[in-house]
Amino acid sequence: MDKIVLRNMEFWGRIGCLPEEKSNDARYLVTVTLYIDEIKGAETDRLEDTIDYSKVFDIAKDVIESEPMNLIEYAAGRIAREVKARYEDIARVKVTISKPDAPIDGVFETMEVTIER
């Protein structure tokens, strides 16, 4: 199984249930891991024989930056669904969204969720 990883893409969006999370952009880090049975481009050196990760980047960006959402779980699920719908060669997709600036009174590195489909 081959994989392509887009690690810690940084986007600004409005995800959360609190009013201030709906009205102020916050930083989100998104990692998308694509699992492909065999990437043909490893043999052919042709872009059309692999997954164009700039398009996957655009999907993640559009989801995070589009409209306010309540849950990072929902955002991760949307990214996973859209990526799988666009590329039939993907056997599995894993999406992790980190919310390093979550409005929690305490010391932490990040809050994150991982969805795998």
Distance CA 93, CA 115 (A): 8
Q: Which of 3, 22, 61, 99 is catalytic?
A: 99
99 labelled catalytic: yes
Give the 3-state secondary structure of residue 29: strand
Rg value, the chain, Cα? 15
Q: Can you spell out the DSSP letters for 85-111?
A: HH-TTEEEEEEEEEETT-S-SS--S-E
Active site residues: 99
